[in-house]
């Protein structure tokens, strides 16, 4: 990923998060069970084609029904809701010889797809978006939906967003994979966005895998928000076990936990603008631990705890501009023989810690904080009980003793 974030564009995109209300078809009444379509793929395909032609509407799916597909659904070109229920799923057939395809694309001229109370699984595409591809200016809204075991040979194991909007509410994106078969992919094991907006609320992104960056979520010049959510147990063979951000990301009331990256940033790798508020970054593992920052990061009222790094910066490795306020960096460690900065490693740029604590971290040197270049500023911040020392090299961090 080599894109540069645009703050102005991100703000404009953020204002676009509020979705339009899809048009409701007069014939579809979710209160009447006899309006549910038959439990077969042809019925679903025909219903989508018909509803597109009518300008949009709601399609009631059968309960306790797997809609098993042998080819992709028609593109969604109008506002359409697929409403399921207990035991409803839409899935690519697992029978031998089934071709590769994504489940559905949200496309021009006016595609707006709402998936409500169902599971989408086993999409597998030789490209981006194993389950869903969201086109420029289009919208995908997930309500009480599980996207699982989908695979993209490019980016976005479950969802690829190309300049549109993806909104998750009370949903799960789990056990999806993005591979690098097409030569320019492997980012975003769960969700990948290029521009556009991704909003994750009261949801979980977990157990996904990326062959490159962003085990859970990868953003290239996009705008990502999370609230009251979990990003956990994702893996990236590159950077950003949980989240890779090269745009703007606001992480609020979120647990980023148990993720792993072979590269940098077990929890979050930030190369853009990152805001972390009232969140926990814990038990992540990488070459550099909880957060690796080369952009601009603000971390407030949060906890960076029990992360592990092999080369340095167990809790936070800063190579950009980082501000930490009213937060705790504790219990982090580095495991390499010459891996400094158990709590914080500042290798360039500036780190400013205010009204915070850096305690009980461990490293080869600078158990609390290690500064190799740039500057670390402590404002009303306690650095204590770190092993083997609080700060390193000696006298590098003004106001740090021991």
User: Three-state DSSP class for 47?
Assistant: helix
| 91-117 pLDDT tens trace | 999 999 999 999 999 999 999 999 999
- What mean pLDDT comes out for the span 321-338? 98
Tell me, what's the pLDDT at 3? 35
- What mean pLDDT comes out for the span 131-140? 99
Backbone torsions φ then ψ of 51, nearest 5 degrees: -70, -40
Q: By C-alpha distance, which of 365, 360, 368, 375 is closest to 400?
A: 368
pLDDT band of 20, cuts 50, 70, 90? very low
Q: Which of 17-31, 89-103, 261-275 has the lowest mean pLDDT?
A: 17-31
The token duo for 136 is 């420029």
Tell me, what's the pLDDT at 33? 55
Using a 10 angstrom Cβ sphere, with 0-12 exposed, 13-18 middle and 19 or more buried, the burial of residue 234 is buried
* pLDDT averaged over every residue in the chain: 93
- What mean pLDDT comes out for the span 385-393? 98
Tell me, what's the pLDDT at 12? 38
| 37-47 pLDDT tens trace | 999 999 999 99
Q: Are 374 and 386 in contact (CB under 8 A)?
A: no
CATH of 75-392, one of 1.10.520, 3.40.50, 1.10.10, 2.160.20: 2.160.20
| 274-285 pLDDT tens trace | 999 999 999 999
pLDDT higher at 304 or 10: 304
pTM: 0.92
| 64-94 pLDDT tens trace | 999 999 999 999 999 999 999 999 999 999 9
Is the model's pLDDT at 10 over the cut of 70?
no
Q: What is the DSSP string of 179-225?
A: --TTSS----SSEEEESSEEEEES-EEES-EESSS-SSEEEEEEEEE
Q: By C-alpha distance, which of 377, 362, 375, 370 is closest to 394?
A: 370
Tell me, what's the pLDDT at 34? 58
Please give the helix or strand (H or E) that residue 142 lies within, else none.
strand 139-148
């Amino acid at each position: 990923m080599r894109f540069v974030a645009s703050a102005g564009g991100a703000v404009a995109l953020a204002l676009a998060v509020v979705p339009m209300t899809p048009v409701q078809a007069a014939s579809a009444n979710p209160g009447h069970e006899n309006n549910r379509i038959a439990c077969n793929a042809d019925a679903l395909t025909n219903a989508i084609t018909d509803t597109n032609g009518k300008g949009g509407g709601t399609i009631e799916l059968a309960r306790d029904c797997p809609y098993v597909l042998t080819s992709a659904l028609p593109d969604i070109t109008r506002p359409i809701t697929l409403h399921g229920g207990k035991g409803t799923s839409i899935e690519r057939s697992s029978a031998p010889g089934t071709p590769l395809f994504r489940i559905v694309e949200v496309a021009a001229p006016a595609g707006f797809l709402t998936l409500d109370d169902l599971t989408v699984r086993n999409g597998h595409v030789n490209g981006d978006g194993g389950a869903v591809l969201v086109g420029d200016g289009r919208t995908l809204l997930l309500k009480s939906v599980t996207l699982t075991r989908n695979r993209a040979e490019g980016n976005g194991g479950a969802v690829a967003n190309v300049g549109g909007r993806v909104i998750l509410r009370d949903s799960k994106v789990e056990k999806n994979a993005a591979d690098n078969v097409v030569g320019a992919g492997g980012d975003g094991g769960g969700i990948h966005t290029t521009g556009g907006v991704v909003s994750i609320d009261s949801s979980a992104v977990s157990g996904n895998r990326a062959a490159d960056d962003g085990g859970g979520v990868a953003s290239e010049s996009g705008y990502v928000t999370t609230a009251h959510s979990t990003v956990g147990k994702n893996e990236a063979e590159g950077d950003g076990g949980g989240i890779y951000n090269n745009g703007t990301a606001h992480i609020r009331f979120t647990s980023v936990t148990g993720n792993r990256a072979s590269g940098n940033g077990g929890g979050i790798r930030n190369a853009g603008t990152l805001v972390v508020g009232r969140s926990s970054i814990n038990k992540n593992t990488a070459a550099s631990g909880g957060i690796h920052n080369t952009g601009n990061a603000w971390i407030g009222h949060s906890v960076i705890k029990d992360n592990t790094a092999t080369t340095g910066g167990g809790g936070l490795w800063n190579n950009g501009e980082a501000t930490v306020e009213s937060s705790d960096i504790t219990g982090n460690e580095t495991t390499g023989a010459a891996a400094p900065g158990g709590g914080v490693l500042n290798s360039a740029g500036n780190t400013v810690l205010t009204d915070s604590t850096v305690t009980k971290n461990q490293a080869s040197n600078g158990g609390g904080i290690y500064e190799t270049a740039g500057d670390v500023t402590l404002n009303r911040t306690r650095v204590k009980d770190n092993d083997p020392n609080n700060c390193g090299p000696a006298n590098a961090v003004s106001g740090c003793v021991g």
